[in-house]
Amino acid sequence: GCLRQQPGKIHFILLFSRQGKLRLQKWYTTLPEKEKKKITREIVQIILARNQKTSSFVDWKDLKLVYKRYASLYFCCAIEDQDNELLTLEVVHRYVELLDRYFGNVCELDIIFNFEKAYFILDEFIMGGEVQETSKKSAVKAIEDSDMLQETVEEYMNKPAF
Amino acid sequence: NEEGCKSKEAEIKRINKELANIRSKFKGDKALDGYSKKKYVCKLLFIFLLGHDIDFGHMEAVNLLSSNRYTEKQIGYLFISVLVNSNSELIRLINNAIKNDLASRNPTFMGLALHCIANVGSREMAEAFAGEIPKILVAGDTMDSVKQSAALCLLRLYRTSPDLVPMGDWTSRVVHLLNDQHLGVVTAATSLITTLAQKNPEEFKTSVSLAVSRLSRIVTSASTDLQDYTYYFVPAPWLSVKLLRLLQCYPPPEDPAVRGRLTECLETILNKAQEPPKSKKVQHSNAKNAVLFEAISLIIHHDSEPNLLVRACNQLGQFLQHRETNLRYLALESMCTLASSEFSHEAVKTHIETVINALKTERDVSVRQRAVDLLYAMCDRSNAQQIVAEMLNYLETADYSIREEIVLKVAILAEKYAVDYTWYVDTILNLIRIAGDYVSEEVWYRVIQIVINRDDVQGYAAKTVFEALQAPACHENLVKVGGYILGEFGNLIAGDPRSSPLIQFNLLHSKFHLCSVPTRALLLSTYIKFVNLFPEIKTTIQDVLRSDSQLKNADVELQQRAVEYLRLSTIASTDILATVLEEMPPFPERESSILAKLKKKKGPGTVTDLEEIKKERSSDMNGSFDSEVSSPLTNSAPPPASSGSLLVDVFSDSASAVAPLAPGSDDNFYLPAKTGLEKRIHPMNNFQFVCKNNGVLFENQLLQIGLKSEFRQNLGRMFIFYGNKTSTQFLNFTPTVICSDDFLNYILCLNLQTKPVDPTVDGGAQVQQVVNIECVSDFMEAPILNIQFRYGGTFQNLSVKLPITLNKFFQPTEMSSQDFFQRWKQLSNPKQEVQNIFKAKHPMDAEITKAKIIGFGSALLEEVDPNPANFVGAGIIHTKTTQIGCLLRLEPNLQAQMYRLTLRTSKEAVSQRLCELLSEQF
């Protein structure tokens, strides 16, 4: 009984590559780690198996998956069955725009190597599964402000080489 | 880099090395500076997100929280948000850091702290901060961005622990945030208000007019007015949708001015849909249509403006033909709810051809599924034949994943809208032909029930099944239906030399050896019924029963039937045979168990509401089937509250059909009575009341006994309803509840109290008896209800076991996976565990299994067992003297059609009894 009726909210967001590699996961429902892995595997499989001509919506358990592919990355949100599917597609698009604006034409590698930024940007946009700030300017400004407060990434951290 | 990591092994090796390095840095003698700490914490996070376990670094992350440097704090919070640890010591430290940041008056730090609370969202967090956040939210000097975070953070805590969020003065001030100048604040506040209003509608009533005026300002604004909140030429789509959602918590506004303004808004949104798009981008049309669909949801929710409903329907009709798959999908889905409104039902129906076409041509199974749903929703008497025909058509090629659901839908529609029951019979036989494997018991039981209840269709049914059975390879379900119907009504077609008694018998018997044991058992019952219907083939049938393959059958059930039927056919006089094997009496009419099954499949809500509304409407327009066939007796019978598988109650699976003839074994709730009259073969389901509390306990030609019971902790109350089915009085009517063999022991375990009932029961009347039950200690045997009365000069005496079983005193217990396994381990003494491995007696349907476990009384624990196919439950048996914790685990093996059931309780006898009771359910 982990996925209860919580109208209006996104339950989780997953970003994964066409090869099925998870690039970002954000859970707005508290679940054990093991469960998250299981769900992720299942959903990646379902979405990758669908062909291009299909709708962007899949019934999954008592939730609905709304997904869209941008270049090599799939963005997938799980929402309540009665929630607004089209607007969820635009949540995804707006997030991509925010990433674009920050990274300048974002690509998969940006998200791999600046994962913390991808999380910060998402947090500015969505909180607890609800859209917090829909204005692109305000959301990006918040991130840029915080960047002013910190040294450049390269300065303080050699990325682990994976 | 990642691609450089050729194999998984190399990656793991690399990571382990890195982890060892970080560990040594953290453990080193030299204290790390904030910069290095941040660097390593960030690396750990990265490794964790790659999918590896991290079991250290939490302390270092917590340290970062109290850093004054933003970047260090930020990484610390991110680590905590992603890797929450229930370690209480840490939680205290984290909470402390959050508290400081909330009090810092630095909006950036406050934002980080609020995000962390929302991300973790635990009960501990709610305990610590649910009182503080409302203050931040409504304080005059709070920055807008912090207000937004505070609103959504509070929402998250409210969802986790509503009891910890105190309502108070702040609520009215939150409502007024709907008027805030900053659209970001309004958006966040609307989410919060919507969730709060769902649970406290009265308190947030004033939000309706505020939401309407806000919405009105948005939809009438020019596309540039809202600047950055305009998304691809659509003004504030997120806020619009949220406002429309908030309004769906309430009925249409009472104030005519507000109501008028809202109607204008909705009309404007509908009008805009007809305007040419302001951009060719899909983002524009998605955002615009998102608002449109939400507006339509509100129109349907209000269900009060015929004009708007019909306009909505027309709009959706356009989308049905749209080139975007997403829009077609959503239009089908939305129309489904529109079909249940009396104002728009007819308008929806005009799209039937398009929907049927979608069923045939859509390439996406999700879309086809929506089309099936919509056809089902728009079905009524006028189009039922067409819709059922199309669904049958589609069934031939439908995806396996949705076949069972389509079968159920077809069966329900065919029954509900049958004018001519020959059509109904044909439809069900078609279902079995096309998708026999997906036709569940409920469906084929139902067709038999209906045929038995309607004498105008019996001859046709017999003829049709006879013809269908001619096919060289027919589905076993057809053999079951055919066997049953010919056993009852084969005489109606026996006059035709092409379907003479012997031909009927040979036809059925030619299938016998290909069938499973339950079907063979059913066929044996058909044969003994043939002995009564067709005395001329008695010797042929006796020869078959006498053959070694029957009399020495390895299956005990089949062997027993053969022996008893052979004996019955030999010794009983024609009169006795005629009485015992008489045609089945009509079944009491109730809600279709198929409908119940569909509801279970689709989850409550969706189907229920629709059905209720449709039922009301159809009873005016069409006259419902249910009332046509229900007999007067059952009208006065107790309303069966739960209808899990009611048909199965009275009709039961064939395996137990012989029960009345067999000596009462322990697991028989029906004990053979002393007079011949009750000995007729009336199927009774063993253990049928273990997982439910209401239904018909016993029925013969004279008497129907219904039950309704409720249990709470160690107490229970059972209402027994005795219905006199005859037109003659019962005299000296004396029901007595007696306890089994060991009387003294019994009294010590189960305390039952009843009052005597009136000794005279008039013809057609019903009397009620209350039994008060107290479970003193755990018990094994069920008590027996003995009934004696005089009917037309003969003395009647019968006994039935009262279904008061140990599991009735269950209280479900929810627990986490961790708790479950800990307790499971604690009960590892071999005497505490009882295990049973058995063959499935029913189709192995996970949903039905779940319902049965819940009906059994324990909690069904989802996501506990590592294997998702398994079922796990927990509960406490309450007796007066003690409470016994029980854990259960059911492991199905689909391939072998077997189950393994394991019970662990602190008491061996309890484990044993619960295991016995539950094993019989599957």
Span B835-850, pLDDT tens digits = 888 888 888 888 888 8
Question: CB–CB of B827/B887 below 8 Å?
Answer: yes
Among B222, B163, B232, B172, which residue's Cα sits nearest to residue B202?
B172
Q: Flag whether residue B241 sits within 8 Å of chain A, measured between CB atoms.
A: yes
Whole-angstrom CA distances from B872 to A60, B285, B602, B841 are 22, 47, 22, 20
- Neighboring chain B residues of A84 at a CB cutoff of 8 Å: 241, 245, 290, 293-294
Predicted confidence band of residue B677 (pLDDT cuts 50, 70, 90) = very low
Q: What pLDDT digit, counting tens, does each position of B436-466 carry?
A: 888 888 888 888 888 888 888 999 999 999 9
Query: What percent of chain B stands above pLDDT 90?
Result: 38
Among B312, B360, B365, which residue's Cα sits nearest to residue B336?
B312
- Using the beta-carbon criterion (under 8 Å), do B366 and A58 form an inter-chain contact? yes
Chain B closest CA to A134's CA: distance in Å? Answer: 7
Q: The tokens of B455 are what?
A: 């004498």
Whole-angstrom CA distances from A6 to B192, B208, B864, B894 are 12, 21, 22, 34
- Neighboring chain A residues of B149 at a CB cutoff of 8 Å: 127, 132
Query: Which one is predicted more confidently, B114 or B640?
Result: B114
Query: What whole-number distance in Å separates Cα of residue B769 and Cα of residue B142?
Result: 66
Q: Give residue B207's pLDDT.
A: 96
Q: Flag whether residue B301 sits within 8 Å of chain A, measured between CB atoms.
A: no
- Which residue of chain A is at minimal alpha-carbon distance from B82? A26
The angle that helices B556-571 and B517-533 make with each other, rounded to 10 degrees, is: 10
For residue B832, is pLDDT > 80?
A: yes
- Using the beta-carbon criterion (under 8 Å), do B364 and A53 form an inter-chain contact? yes
pLDDT (mean) for A105-133: 89
Question: CB–CB of B562/B553 below 8 Å?
Answer: yes
- Neighboring chain A residues of B868 at a CB cutoff of 8 Å: 38
Question: CB–CB of B786/B799 below 8 Å?
Answer: yes
The answer to which of A141-150, B176-185, B195-204, B603-612 has the lowest mean pLDDT is: B603-612
- Which residue of chain A is at minimal alpha-carbon distance from B363? A54
Chain B closest CA to A80's CA: distance in Å? Answer: 13
Query: What whole-number distance in Å separates Cα of residue A147 and Cα of residue A143?
Result: 6
Q: Give residue B308's pLDDT.
A: 94
- Using the beta-carbon criterion (under 8 Å), do A84 and B191 form an inter-chain contact? no
- Which residue of chain B is at minimal alpha-carbon distance from A161? B1
Among B195, B157, B160, which residue's Cα sits nearest to residue B174?
B195
Q: Flag whether residue B9 sits within 8 Å of chain A, measured between CB atoms.
A: no
- Neighboring chain B residues of A131 at a CB cutoff of 8 Å: 187, 191, 238
- Neighboring chain B residues of A40 at a CB cutoff of 8 Å: none
Closest residue to B241, CB basis, from A38, A87, A136: A87
Q: Where are the alpha helices (DSSP H) in B553-710?
A: 556-571, 574-580, 593-602, 606-621, 625-629, 632-636, 646-651
Chain A closest CA to B859's CA: distance in Å? Answer: 11
Q: Flag whether residue B49 sits within 8 Å of chain A, measured between CB atoms.
A: yes
Report the phi/psi class of residue A105: left, alpha or beta, with left for phi > 0 and alpha for psi in -120 to 50.
Answer: left
Query: What whole-number distance in Å separates Cα of residue B518 and Cα of residue B480?
Result: 9
For residue A34, is pLDDT > 90?
A: no
For residue B1, is pLDDT > 60?
A: no
Among B825, B789, B778, B786, which residue's Cα sits nearest to residue B802?
B786
For residue B665, is pLDDT > 80?
A: no
pLDDT (mean) for B300-325: 93
Q: Give residue B328's pLDDT.
A: 95
pLDDT (mean) for B365-379: 92
- Which residue of chain B is at minimal alpha-carbon distance from A118? B78
The answer to which of A1-15, B18-32, B295-309 has the lowest mean pLDDT is: A1-15
Report long-range pairs for B135-141 (Cβ below 8 Å, ≥24 apart). Answer: B135/B170, B136/B102, B136/B110, B137/B170, B137/B174, B138/B170, B138/B173, B138/B174
Q: Is B43 annotated as a binding residue?
A: yes
Q: Flag whether residue B3 sits within 8 Å of chain A, measured between CB atoms.
A: no
- Using the beta-carbon criterion (under 8 Å), do B229 and A131 form an inter-chain contact? no
Q: Give residue B571's pLDDT.
A: 80
pLDDT (mean) for B528-548: 89
Q: Give residue B602's pLDDT.
A: 61
For residue B21, is pLDDT > 50?
A: yes
Closest residue to B2, CB basis, from A8, A132, A162: A162
Q: Give residue B607's pLDDT.
A: 42
Q: Is B629 annotated as a binding residue?
A: no
Q: What pLDDT digit, counting tens, does each position of A19-31 carry?
A: 999 999 999 988 8
Query: What whole-number distance in Å separates Cα of residue B438 and Cα of residue B298?
Result: 37
The answer to which of A22-31, B102-111, B132-141, B774-783 has the lowest mean pLDDT is: B774-783
Q: Would you report the helix, strand and coil content of chain A in percent, each value rounded to 5? A: 45, 25, 35
Q: Give residue B590's pLDDT.
A: 54
Q: Give residue B663's pLDDT.
A: 31
First to last CA, chain B: 54
- DSSP code at position B664: -
Q: Give residue B334's pLDDT.
A: 94
Q: Which residue has the tokens 């973790």?
A: B120
- Neighboring chain A residues of B294 at a CB cutoff of 8 Å: 84, 87
Chain A closest CA to B338's CA: distance in Å? Answer: 14
Q: Give residue B633's pLDDT.
A: 29
What is the CA angle A103-A105-A110, rounded to 5? 50
Whole-angstrom CA distances from B713 to B470, B688, B805, B810, B877 are 56, 21, 13, 7, 8
Q: Give residue B737's pLDDT.
A: 79
Among B267, B235, B116, B241, which residue's Cα sits nearest to residue B187?
B241
For residue B576, is pLDDT > 60?
A: yes
Q: Is B153 annotated as a binding residue?
A: no
For residue B583, is pLDDT > 80?
A: no
Question: CB–CB of B79/B22 below 8 Å?
Answer: no
Averaged pLDDT of chain B: 82
Query: What percent of chain B stands above pLDDT 70?
Result: 87
- Neighboring chain B residues of A128 at a CB cutoff of 8 Å: 118-119, 121, 152-153, 155-156, 159
Query: Which one is predicted more confidently, B250 or B553?
Result: B250
Q: Give residue B798's pLDDT.
A: 81
pLDDT (mean) for B762-789: 84
Among B336, B328, B433, which residue's Cα sits nearest to residue B376?
B336
Query: Which one is predicted more confidently, A158 or B758?
Result: B758
Closest residue to B39, CB basis, from A130, A142, A156: A156
Q: Is B480 annotated as a binding residue?
A: no
Three-state secondary-structure class, residue B611: helix
What is the CA angle B619-B623-B626, rounded to 5? 85
Taking only Cα atoms into account, the Rg of chain A, rounded to an integer number of angstroms, comes to 16
pLDDT (mean) for B566-578: 80
Q: What pLDDT digit, counting tens, does each position of B381-419 carry?
A: 999 999 999 999 999 888 887 888 899 999 999 988 988
Predicted confidence band of residue B747 (pLDDT cuts 50, 70, 90) = low
Query: Which one is predicted more confidently, B780 or B286?
Result: B286
Kind plus residue range of the DSSP H or E element containing B297:
helix B282-302
Chain B closest CA to A56's CA: distance in Å? Answer: 6
The answer to whether the Cα torsion of B587, B588, B590, B593 is positive or negative is negative
User: Which residues lie below 8 Å from residue B698, measured CB to CB, with a gap of 6+?
Assistant: B670, B684, B704, B705, B798, B800
The answer to whether the Cα torsion of B799, B800, B805, B809 is positive or negative is negative
Predicted confidence band of residue B612 (pLDDT cuts 50, 70, 90) = very low
Q: Give residue B275's pLDDT.
A: 93
Q: Give residue B672's pLDDT.
A: 30
- Which residue of chain A is at minimal alpha-carbon distance from B108? A146
**Length of chain B counted residue by residue:** 922
The answer to which of A131-140, B526-535, B594-603, B894-903 has the lowest mean pLDDT is: B594-603
- Neighboring chain B residues of A146 at a CB cutoff of 8 Å: 70, 74, 108
User: Which residues lie below 8 Å from residue A160, measured CB to CB, with a gap of 6+?
Assistant: B18, B43, B46, B47
For residue B563, is pLDDT > 60?
A: yes
- Neighboring chain B residues of A115 at a CB cutoff of 8 Å: 45-46, 49
For residue B872, is pLDDT > 70?
A: yes
Three-state secondary-structure class, residue B791: strand
For residue B141, is pLDDT > 70?
A: yes
First to last CA, chain A: 37
Query: What whole-number distance in Å separates Cα of residue A53 and Cα of residue B529?
Result: 57
pLDDT (mean) for B362-379: 92
Q: Is B116 annotated as a binding residue?
A: no
Question: CB–CB of B851/B918 below 8 Å?
Answer: no
Query: Which one is predicted more confidently, A92 or B365?
Result: A92
Q: The tokens of B797 are what?
A: 């005496």
Query: Which one is predicted more confidently, B167 or B296?
Result: B296
